[in-house]
Amino acid sequence: MARLIVRDVEKWFRREDGQPLKILDRLSFEALEGCVTVVVGPSGCGKSTLLNAIVGLERLDRGELAFAKDAVHLQGRPLIGYVFQSPRLLPWKTVGDNLKLALQGAGIDRGEWQERVERYLDLVGLGEYAGQFPLYLSGGQRQRVGLARALAIESELVLMDEPFASVDELTARQLRQTTRRLCEKLHRTVLFVTHNLPEAAYMSDYVVTLTTRPARMAEYVTNPLPTPRNWSPEIYQFAAELEAKVTFKEESEL
């Protein structure tokens, strides 16, 4: 697994009137190997923009995104898995074929596809659904397929962009439990974006709290809660502590 290094990152967009709009402002932090680092901040502060830059969909105006493994810096961008807000499954392909398409895109040897499909669907509790079409799955089941797809390519880094925002709270809690358990079991390096503070408290090993746009790091917090982790009053107590660390300054004040 790789370590992600975000160093002095800045990103600007243009407003409709042509004026510049700063989204990310000298943002620096690290996502450590084998850990879940949660980035939490107000809606619209630039969290998704940061993820898009990490996967190469956005170009930075300043700063560096670097990757290292076992203290050795990697050249270029490593293989990255992505769990989206919605699962983005192809409805005309079966669950298994959706995973195989991701494996093909990642350059995984065809001889490994079936074993990986079976293994990762089993890990998310959908081992019997490989031949099913996404239309016949619940929203939570489709999101589990999206999780399995991101994990199956066995990437150096997994990005998760508010992956449970599109499902009801009960389903979201079950998905958080499954995802947290798998992160502990597989020791994946995960960068998890959310504005849900209890979710951040439950999912994280480390938390990066951001200001409002343009996003700067407010604090870097180590999660004190033990693992394996269950939902408990301590989760909400830590979430309240995080709320005090997320600043809500207006853009004009920065």
Q: Average pLDDT for residues 188-213, to the nearest whole number?
A: 93
- The domain locations on the chain are 33-60+78-253
The torsion defined by the Cα of 171, 39, 228 and 3, in degrees rounded to 10, comes to: 130
The pTM (predicted TM-score) of the whole model is 0.91
For residues 237 and 218, what is the distance between their CA atoms, to the nearest angstrom? 19
* CATH number for the domain running over 33-60+78-253: 3.40.50.300
Q: Which tokens belong to 110?
A: 């065809």
**In which band, very low, low, confident or very high, does the pLDDT at 246 lie, cut at 50, 70 and 90?**
confident
**In which band, very low, low, confident or very high, does the pLDDT at 222 lie, cut at 50, 70 and 90?**
very high
Strands lying side by side in the sheet with 206-210: 80-83, 157-161, 190-194, 36-40, 206-210, 217-222
Phi and psi, residue 184, nearest 5°:
-70, -40
If you average pLDDT over every residue of the chain, what do you get? 90
Helix orientation angle between 95-105 and 139-152, rounded to the nearest 10 degrees: 30
For residues 152 and 116, what is the distance between their CA atoms, to the nearest angstrom? 6
